Amino acid sequence: MGELLAPARGEAAGQLRPLAEALGAAPHPRSVLAWLRRHSAAALLADLAAEGEALTHEMLDRLPRMKATRNVRELLVGTGVLPARQENLARLEAWTSTFIGALPAGQARVVGPYARWHIVRDARRRAARRPYSARAADADVRGIRIAAAFTAWLDHEGLGLAELTQVDLDRWLTEHPTMHRGTRAFVRWAIIRRLAAKHLTAAAPRWPLPSDFLDIDELDAQLSRCLNDTSLPREVRIGGALSRLYALPLTRIVTLTADRYTQEADGQGYLTLERNPVLLPPKLDRLIQEQITGAASTSMISPHSESPPFLMPGRVPGRHRSINWLYTQMRKHGLPVRPARNTAMIEAITCLPPIVVADLFGIHPGTADSWARYANASWTAYLAARREDAGRTVRSTDTARLRGPHAAGGE
């Protein structure tokens, strides 16, 4: 640690003591020594310490966006030197400022308020409720880009938002069929701000109907594997069970923290997916308990004790497993993600009201309603055909499968 702290001075010297202590207490000293001697993040951190300036997120934001900078930030946050923040939201804010600053003045006057006070502000509200994912940030970046492209097209056509007609808007949408969603959001914002005529309408993009499903028996068999097959990695078993029981996407599963799990006096375990705790099947309950007490972090050092531990800890202190890692592992072990989630969602929506599914699973009520309408139109016919072909009644999952202890593979 002397190599790291020897050049440290000023405020940085005192700030870095928690990091030095964490490195000194690391379970694998050889890994720490190798990191100090060879890793570009260690060299960057030593340079920052030598400057003596207080280490802040703002200081790191001014540095080039490279892997070493990201690693330094993760170490400082993971050891409590810097406060945790939602990096994807910070990335969106920084990108928005740079992007708007590079637009022509006329475009910036319109797109700037839309980006800052509509998209970014909405992202902050969402981030206050739950982790703001990289996928969400990419979608918001695309929304801002579409608004900029649309206003650039208006300039090219010699039009302003106030002069925009329905014919012009339809022409843009016809020429740019992949930009319906972003254009619709921008036009609605412009109408509310009285920047465009209130009669303008942009057709809502059609909800893409799911096409990949599993046979119900296959879904049950895969769920049973997750709950009973001890040859599968424990994280794969947990991820597979959660996606097949509660239709959770991997982006939600990897960000679950241990404090989401609770156990009542009667010994029954609950997992809070959104706001309300969901009763776990006994075998999944035990898997999650084992994961919380025995998960081996692959991080070089232990995370800051005040940080809530992730159910699936990753290589960086205070970070979770990567989505790509979990996705690859599940595919490797014959547990496809999308068809299993689609089937689990259909089963849930056919036995519970959409608003209940939205509340339990943490999805938007509109999304749950779309699934319900799709199930009524397609899934009922599918079940009827199966009953007729098989000459028996196909069991649809009841409420107990979703919330009670007698789920498939349970006791």
How does pLDDT run across 343-396, given as a tens digit for each residue? 999 888 888 888 888 888 878 788 888 888 887 755 455 555 555 555 543 333
Q: What percent of the chain clears pLDDT 90, i.e. is strictly above it?
A: 44
Average pLDDT over every residue of 5-30: 71
- Identify the weakest region by mean pLDDT among 120-124, 139-143, 255-259, 349-353: 349-353
Pairwise CA distance, residues 141 & 132, whole Å: 13
DSSP-derived secondary structure letter, 16: T
Q: How confident is the model at residue 119 (pLDDT cuts 50, 70, 90)?
A: very high
What mean pLDDT comes out for the span 55-84?
86
According to the model, what pLDDT value does residue 365 have? 84
- Joined together, the tokens standing for residue 181 give 């969603």
Confidence (pLDDT) at 354: 87
Give CA–CA dist 216/243, Å, rounded: 14
Pairing of strands 261-263, 277-279: unpaired
Query: Is 405 a residue whose pLDDT tops 50?
Result: no
131-140, 345-354, 393-402: range with lowest mean pLDDT: 393-402
Closest-CA residue to 239 (of 274, 271, 276, 264): 271
User: Which pLDDT belongs to residue 89?
Assistant: 95
Q: Which helix (H) or strand (E) covers residue 145, if one does?
A: helix 134-156
Phi, psi (degrees; rounded to nearest 5) at 277: -70, 140
pTM: 0.69
Q: Per-residue pLDDT tens for 339-356? A: 999 999 988 888 888 888
Cα gap 87→13, rounded to integer Å: 25
Average pLDDT over all residues of the chain: 83
Domains of the chain: 2-78 (no CATH), 87-192 (no CATH), 216-403 (1.10.443)
363 DSSP assignment: -
In this structure, what token pair is assigned to residue 49? 């310490």
Counted residue by residue, the chain has a size of: 411
Given a cut of 50, whether residue 401 has pLDDT beyond it is no
pLDDT given for residue 403 in this prediction: 39
pLDDT at 409 over 80: no
Task: Encode pLDDT of 266-318 as tens digits.
Answer: 889 999 987 788 899 999 999 999 999 876 555 666 666 566 788 998 877 66
The CA distance from 35 to 147, in Å, is: 44
